[in-house]
Every structure is written in C-alpha cells, then in structure tokens.
Amino acid sequence: MANPLARTTSWKGSLPFLLLALLAVTVVGLDQLSKSWVVASLPEGHWWSPLPGELGDLFRITHTTNSGAAFGILPNQGNLFILIAVAVVIAIVVYYRQLPAGDWLIRISLGLQLGGAIGNLLDRLRLGYVIDFIDISFWPIFNLADASITIGILLIVYRLWRIEHMERGKASSERSRVDGEAQS
C-alpha cells in the first residue's frame, strides 16, 4: 500500500518556481536597498554624480519621487497603479505555471518583471509614490525596479522574435523541400 503522505513532486519540478522567487526577491532587495540609500543620502531634488567631468553630466543619482506611471504620466493615480501592480503580479504567477519546462529566458524575464512590479508596489503602498534616482541625461529618471521590468520586457520581445525567426526558417525549409520533391 502506498504511503498517502509521500509526495511525488521532485526537487527538479520546483526549480522553475525557485528561479522565479530568487529573481524576484533579488530585484526587490536591490531595489529597496538602493532607494533607501538614496533617501538617506540625498534630499529630494538633489543629485550626485559618481563620474567626473562631462560623464558626470551624463549620469547622475538624482533623488525624485513619482506619483504617476513611467515617465511621470498620469500623476497622482496611485490607487490605479496599485491595482495594476497587483493584477500584474497575479498574472505573472499564473502565467508562469503554464510555461514549457525548458523556456528559461521567458522564466527569467518574468522573474525580473515580478521583482520590479513588487519593488514599485511596495513604494506605492508604503509612501504613496515611487522613488526614482537613476538619471541618464537624455532619459527620464527611473529606478532599479523600472530597469528590471524593462529588461524583462526586452527579453520577452527577443524570445518571441527568435521563435518567429525559427518558425519562418522551418517554413522556408519545408517549402524548399516540397518544391524540390515536386520538381523530381
């Protein structure tokens, strides 16, 4: 008689969720630590550059707050963005369960996005706004959570492009094979 308490779940089966959790916790931790450092080191509106000369004009650490979405659009809509962030977190976890076992790039992408969404969500819940500080002169000021979300999205776009490219290659090869057989 089989032991009803015995689990058939293998350690390998939990690795994908371990990856999601590890990436998300790492992103949230780095995001929150960096924001804490900025708040403790710079008054809001002030900046500091770790680079000398003209490079210092290109890259700065600037303490700002953002009550809106990316690039400051829709300011003072914190409750809306809290709801969106919660929906994104739930969607990522649900979708993650549906992924094929070997699709690690998508899994990494979703882990980065999950961590970024949680990092900014924590700011909104705790402070009512998001702390931004990475100031590249030609781009709106952002934070590590934003960067993580963006990198995650770019990884998904890259993965989808690769899938489409491979499918086109297969279709082209199949057409060539069929055309070759028809000429024989």
Catalytic: which of 31, 123, 132, 135?
A: 132
Tokens of 123: 């700011």
Is 179 one of the catalytic residues? Answer: no
Is 132 one of the catalytic residues? Answer: yes
Catalytic: which of 31, 123, 135, 146?
A: 146
The set of catalytic residues is 132, 146
